Structure 1
Amino acid sequence: MADLKFNLQTMVTSKEWEGCPYSQTSEGSAMLDVLSNHTFWSSCIMITRLTNPLLRILRIVGSQKEAAIGYVFGGMYRAKETIKRELVKKEEYMAYWNIMDYRWQKLWDLPLHAAGFYLNPKFFYSIKGEMHKVIMSKMLDCIEKLVPDLKVQDEISKEINLYKNAVGDLGRNLAIRARDTLLPAEWWSTYGCGFPNMACFAVRILCQTCSLIQCKENQIPFDQLHKTRNSLEHERLSDFVFVRYNLQLRQMVHKNKEHEYVDPISFDNTSIVEDWVTETEMYPEDNENTDWKALDPPFYNSRLLELSVDEAEDLGSGFDDNEIFFNGLQVVKEEGRI
């Protein structure tokens, strides 16, 4: 609405509006007063500035284009950073932060998001000094949880230090430039060959999705899976669910490659009717004859992130304000709301 300010004000001051019967009603007069009120438009602009970063996070989480696990943590940081910059006074921006922190811990505060942030080279190398201890701790939680082999855990721990110092191919000028252009999983797949354990772990994390937006509930028999008591039938249905889910992900990749690539993080690329129109997707009919063992392994989208200059600067200018992530959450805990 803020973008339509000039058009709306032009409309209610035009001769056509003056000749319209609605302009003579009390509602029409009230609308004229509102559209002519400077305070109203200032409030609209402020609301837009405060909510756009939050909408960006929702865009990241619900992205139908790319795995978003490497961007959610950074998106949350940027949202709180914007709110702090706009409101300035701590008592004002903390009111918003407390709500965000409450929802974050309740729904999204998972080690995977911190690990995705840590393994995203665009974010990792933009931090001055040491990584915050909370992020590092959650990164280690993921290693211990997802890597059962103790020897591999030890190797990853060694390779983490090499990652910090950008040793080997990670420090090439080509790799440095690619931090801002390649998707995180592609970056590791391309330049992490000298660190096989770390690269494998990173790709596994960074390829995770954050939403089931592409998975139709009536296409995956979860209810049927939980109702059966026969162990063999349960195993067969588990395989079936696995295959159906991965087939849908694969079809999503094929469909996305047929259309122009749109950066999932850029709010400017959002269609105003996107949430109202959905396409009918095709799924394989012969589910029983699907040979899941013969499926090709998943592949990555080789296209680059086409960020605008403003978007790139906004997402990669540093993450050095520890208050943004952790002080607000502490205040919520002290108030007894969590």
Structure 2
Amino acid sequence: MIEEVKVAIYKEECKEYEEESPFYNVVYSILLARWTKSSRLLHCMAHSLNPRYYSIEYLNGAPNRIPPHQNSEIAKERKECLKKYFANEDERRMVNEEFASFSACLDEFASSDFMNDRGKMDPIKWWTVHGSTTPNIQKLALKLLGQPCSSSCCERNWSTYKFIHSLRRNRITPQRAEDLVFVHNNLRLLSRRTLQYKNGDMWDIGGDDYDTIVNVNGGMIEIANLSLDEPDFEGVIFDNEDEDD
């Protein structure tokens, strides 16, 4: 992505690829900070298991691209992830051997079909078709690469925040609002373990539908329900209402 951004910026500025660009340097620092924030063990593991990033089409798409197993940063994070996922050394060694076959096109992965399909098939389909000889990393790849990209968790959190930071409590401090959202969400999750919830007697704002928080049974949820019938939590919201207002 960074390489593609650089190409676009340098093309717009009519500069050679080796020249200095103050604008690109600013954009690069922002992208690098975002990458560092999002670069976690599972991210690097998923990147390492995506066959697309080993394909000739991808590697030739921009200068300086290398396959994930040759990137020292990604390789380090991948190894840490495997240590956490496979605590047994013998099992982890077997997984490393499977990954070596996959990433270096060894053994069964040396087939032309295996290599040609890397850049043309969906990663999930690729592993389903070609990953049977490496069952351990096939199972891991299907789990990681099958994760959907969704903002539903953020949307649900914002909806809860909107419910707490209402017109009646518009002077509540950001930290207090954050704490109330945290407590509210955790109380809601804990309520799912109770017998009342399993019997359908316990509320759960919107359930897994984040956009229904203000519309349950055709109307606004009663404010008292926000506490999950916890008097202490209800007191936190209402006892100091005059002070907040």
TM range (shorter): 0.5 to 0.7
Question: Which one of the candidate residues 204, 223, 233 is aligned to 2:194?
Answer: 233
Q: Find runs of 4+ consecutive structure 1 residues off by over 4 angstroms.
A: 84-87, 127-130, 213-216, 222-225, 228-232
Whole-angstrom CA distance in 2 between matches of 1:183 and 1:223:
40
Question: Which one of the candidate residues 47, 63, 75 is aligned to 1:117?
Answer: 47
Whole-angstrom CA distance in 1 between matches of 2:113 and 2:26:
43
Partner of 1:292: none
CA contact (8 A) 2:105 2:115 kept: no
TM (norm. structure 2) is 0.53
CA contact (8 A) 1:169 1:192 kept: no
Question: Which one of the candidate residues 83, 105, 112 is aligned to 2:9?
Answer: 83
Whole-angstrom CA distance in 2 between matches of 1:215 and 1:135:
27
For residues 65-80 of structure 1, the aligned pairs below 5 Å read 75-80=1-6
Are residue 167 (structure 1) and residue 96 (structure 2) matched?
no
For residues 2-81 of structure 1, the aligned pairs below 5 Å read 75-81=1-7
Partner of 1:96: 27
For residues 116-155 of structure 1, the aligned pairs below 5 Å read 116-126=46-56, 127=59, 131-155=70-94
For residues 267-286 of structure 1, the aligned pairs below 5 Å read none
Partner of 1:186: 125
**What displacement does 1:162 show?**
0.9
CA contact (8 A) 2:127 2:138 kept: yes
Per the alignment, in what secondary structure is the counterpart of residue 189 of structure 1? helix
Whole-angstrom CA distance in 2 between matches of 1:143 and 1:82:
36
**What displacement does 1:224 show?**
6.0
Percent identity over the alignment? 20
Aligned-pair Cα RMSD in Å: 3.9
By relative contact order (CA 8 Å, sep 6+), the higher-ranking structure is 1
TM (norm. structure 1) is 0.40
Counterpart of 1:100, as a letter, is L
